[in-house]
Structure 1
Amino acid sequence: MPRTPRLPLALGALCLLATACAAPAVDTATPSDRSWEEVLAAAEGQTVDLWMWGGDERGNAYVDDVLAPAAAELGVTLRRVPVTDTKDALRRVLAERAAGEQDGTVDLVWVNGDNFATGREAGAWACGWAGALPNAAYVAEDDPLVTEDFGVATEGCESPWHKAQFAFVYDEARVDDPPTSLAGLLDWAEENPGRFTYPAPPDFTGSVFVRQALYAVAGGAESVPGTYDEDAAAALTPDLWERLREVAPSLWREGRTYPRDSVALDRLYAGGEVDFTMTYGPATLTDLVADGTFPDTTRVLTLDEGTVGNASFLAMPATAGDPEGAMAVADLALSPEQQALKADPGVWGQFTVLDLDLLDPADRARFEELPQSDVVPPYDELSRDAQPELASSWVAPLDEGWRREVVGRR
């Protein structure tokens, strides 16, 4: 049975920073007696600046052509601010916070992982508001992908936006006998010189590849502590760096250079220079094949041990100049209608964060009627044996270690 959406009675207090955050330099509170209807009334006429990575053309188009018009129906102008790195948005938030700004230029940030954790430690995010959005009623309260973000408790400091599952992608016309494990993939790369590579960390996709390789070399995700531990890193990473150094000469361009990001890797794959690519958004592959960007023999490689999964979020800075509008947009983005539109491979192709069992029949039908793909397995299959993301505290040490121990020791 779907739950009735929660209509919070004291949403103003939800914009206060939670005690887990650093002491606020600004006050983002609004009157504590306002209902959701009053919040929507305050949001009318506001302009919400959503800062997000601008490298995903389908994501940009979804926000501009689908989400923004829907926000306009609420009287809210949604303005997408593209950045080359989410850290650019975080730096702006932290600078405004340090200056005591109370009418900041960043209202929402597409964020997860170490950027969320860094902002949380600095008290950059407004907390306690996300779980009280009306459409949060359709998110399972015990879903670990949305209650934690790379090991950091979300605690209402960000609203879930979509789920992701790391996946390897290959051309079955060129790969006769695809490997079924990460270890097997590295072996395949050595047996087929020049036909495989991965983006250079700290690119997001390159970073998750290194974490996936760490799990494989360590003997499984259960062998790696979720929270960063120097002793564990000292024990586990030498074998990782050794294996990645061993395979490097067999990579594209003999490992002398790496694609700078997933977009560059996709270009290599689309041009036939390599036989594999990788993505944290496999649902987009259907449209990439349909429009001829990728060959129609593109397939997702399913690993026996599973792959890493996580979720992306919308976070509201404590300095947001239009907090009511930001809440209205975050709630809209979480609605069954928007989640289904975003899940359509022809629109963006991002997996929903909603629990379909909590939806009414009409809303559930939106997802059941989404086109099936010959390229991408269903999310339930993709996420089978999903491996947890390591805590964000692992990310920088692994990225820096890769640069020092793999690139620096060639």
Structure 2
Amino acid sequence: MKKSGLVGFIVFIFLLSACSQGQSQQSNPNDLSWDEIKQQADGTTVNIHMWGGDEGINQYMDEWVAPRLKEQYNITLERVPMDTQNILQKLQSEKQAGKKDGTIDIVWVNGENFKNAKENGLLYGPFRDQLPNFNDYYDQDSLAFQYDFGTPTEGYEAPWGKVQFVFQYDSNKISNPPKSFDELQSWINENPGKFTYPNPDDFSGNAFLRQLLYATVDDPKEIIEEPFSNEYATKKAEPMWEYLRTIKPDLWRNGEHYPASLTELDRLYSQGDVWMTMGYNEARAEHLIEQGVFPESTRSFVMEPGSLGNTHFLAIPFNSSNKSGAMAAINFLLSPDAQYKKLEPTYWGDNTPISVDKLPEEQQKKFESLDRGETVLSTERLENSFLPEADSGYVEWIKENWKDEIIRNQ
């Protein structure tokens, strides 16, 4: 081989090697200006791993977000459906193996999963305060952004949305939905087989139990304000377990089987096997009606003592190989345009954590005039019923104890 050819070949191999290492050699975004972060993100691929159990959410990401992110930032967004717990297990395994160049760039996370990820060093940050859209359009002092189920966020996650737990029912079959858990118990007894709830390993099923826990103590503040402990939870939860044991014989399939997921419960509702479903999204029924999954007679309700609500977030794994791309993508997802589209019932209908009063006047009017759909309760009703989440320790505790208290305790 001629010398000039050899030199060219070496240069080619060097360039090929640099490209193959790709995004893993990016500079730390903490050391960069926002313009430099955007430049570094340009032309890259961002892999977002997130729960994929809601088709409206999936369509929002694939049909609306991805093409606009490509157009505005030249970023290719790859959505990978995966339960958050499995994501964290993957990250934990990679951390133990010393893998510095991971394949996950963004995770959708909150609550117990965020607490576990943060405590085990699975997240990159802090990064939130570098995002222009967060600084421009969000209340940076809001406790909803400073704490996640009682865990300080400290800039390791950025607020993406906020939701409240509501029940859906078929108004052609139920004229007056229950106003309390006592009334729900009576309704279940009078309509055997027409109600059930997901196994609390599922997030929605777990939220149903946490909602019930609030209702079976003298005052929800007892649970909200008290730090979690096994002893305290055991003491306060006995009325909840007794309630669940009481309604069990009149549940769908006599309480011998519980839906493994919200998707399964929704299917039972859409088929008319049960007359109610539920979910941690006050507007979720809109796109399900539009898609012909739920009957048009579907409506929503909340019960006393109130409706659980929380903020959900986006975070970046410690070993993301494209942290700049992840930050650029998250900044876009926090933008007024992306938040407005997410608020529309067309895809998702998810409520926004954005501070509308920080928006330009024209955008304020746009947000305030949006009709979220007939199944969505009024803003006033939702705000008046809002109850913050308690310590995230209750989530895992309920998972661990439900089988003993309800399944094995016949």
**Pair in the same fold by TM > 0.5:** yes
| 1:148 matches 2:147 | yes
- CA deviations on 1:96-143 (whole Å, 9 max, x unpaired) are 222222221110001111111111110111122113210112111233
- CA deviations on 1:300-330 (whole Å, 9 max, x unpaired) are 1132321100121111011110000000000
Whether the 8 Å contact between 2:199 and 2:206 is mirrored in structure 1 is yes
- CA deviations on 1:57-94 (whole Å, 9 max, x unpaired) are 111111111111122120111111111x2111111212
Q: Structure 1 residue 273: deviation in Å?
A: 1.1
Whether the 8 Å contact between 1:194 and 1:250 is mirrored in structure 2 is yes
Aligned twin of 2:56: 58
User: Equivalent residue of 2:185, what SS?
Assistant: helix
1: CA distance between counterparts of 2:349 and 2:104? 26
Q: Structure 1 residue 31: deviation in Å?
A: 6.5
User: Equivalent residue of 1:90, what SS?
Assistant: helix
Aligned twin of 2:203: 204
Aligned twin of 1:353: 353
Whether the 8 Å contact between 2:29 and 2:323 is mirrored in structure 1 is no
2: CA distance between counterparts of 1:238 and 1:177? 29
1: CA distance between counterparts of 2:125 and 2:320? 12
Equivalenced residue count is: 384
1: CA distance between counterparts of 2:241 and 2:177? 24
1: CA distance between counterparts of 2:230 and 2:30? 44
| 1:135 matches 2:136 | no
2: CA distance between counterparts of 1:302 and 1:218? 18
Aligned twin of 1:287: 287
Whether the 8 Å contact between 1:183 and 1:217 is mirrored in structure 2 is no
User: Equivalent residue of 1:300, what SS?
Assistant: strand
2: CA distance between counterparts of 1:367 and 1:261? 32
Q: 1:197 to 1:127 in 2, by over 3 A?
A: same
Identify unmatched segments of 5+ residues in structure 2: 1-23
Q: Structure 1 residue 220: deviation in Å?
A: 3.0
What are the within-5 Å matches in structure 2 for residues 145-294 of structure 1?
145-224=144-223, 225-294=225-294
Aligned twin of 1:90: 88
Q: Which has the higher helix share?
A: 2
User: Equivalent residue of 1:118, what SS?
Assistant: helix
Identify unmatched segments of 5+ residues in structure 1: 1-25
2: CA distance between counterparts of 1:379 and 1:50? 31
Whether the 8 Å contact between 1:164 and 1:310 is mirrored in structure 2 is yes
Q: Structure 1 residue 408: deviation in Å?
A: 1.2
Aligned twin of 2:315: 315
Partner amino acid, structure 1, of 2:61? V
User: Equivalent residue of 2:183, what SS?
Assistant: helix
Partner amino acid, structure 2, of 1:63? M
2: CA distance between counterparts of 1:159 and 1:247? 40
Whether the 8 Å contact between 1:181 and 1:305 is mirrored in structure 2 is yes
User: Larger deviation: 317-326 or 135-144?
Assistant: 135-144
2: CA distance between counterparts of 1:367 and 1:53? 27
| 1:117 matches 2:141 | no
Aligned twin of 2:35: 37
- CA deviations on 1:31-62 (whole Å, 9 max, x unpaired) are 75521011100111221110011111111111
Whether the 8 Å contact between 1:226 and 1:389 is mirrored in structure 2 is no
Q: Structure 1 residue 351: deviation in Å?
A: 0.7
| 1:365 matches 2:375 | no
Q: TM-score, normalising length from structure 2?
A: 0.89
2: CA distance between counterparts of 1:367 and 1:134? 20
Whether the 8 Å contact between 1:50 and 1:108 is mirrored in structure 2 is yes
Q: Structure 1 residue 409: deviation in Å?
A: 1.0
Q: 1:43 to 1:219 in 2, by over 3 A?
A: same
Whether the 8 Å contact between 2:60 and 2:347 is mirrored in structure 1 is yes
Partner amino acid, structure 2, of 1:301? F
Partner amino acid, structure 2, of 1:172? S
2: CA distance between counterparts of 1:268 and 1:345? 23
Aligned twin of 1:401: 401
1: CA distance between counterparts of 2:226 and 2:141? 18
Partner amino acid, structure 2, of 1:30? N
2: CA distance between counterparts of 1:391 and 1:324? 32
2: CA distance between counterparts of 1:187 and 1:378? 27
- CA deviations on 1:164-209 (whole Å, 9 max, x unpaired) are 1000111122113321112321232122211111001110000000
User: Equivalent residue of 2:94, what SS?
Assistant: helix
RMSD, matched Cα: 1.8
2: CA distance between counterparts of 1:257 and 1:28? 50
User: Larger deviation: 55-64 or 279-288?
Assistant: 279-288
Q: 1:44 to 1:178 in 2, by over 3 A?
A: same
2: CA distance between counterparts of 1:279 and 1:75? 35
Q: 1:54 to 1:267 in 2, by over 3 A?
A: same
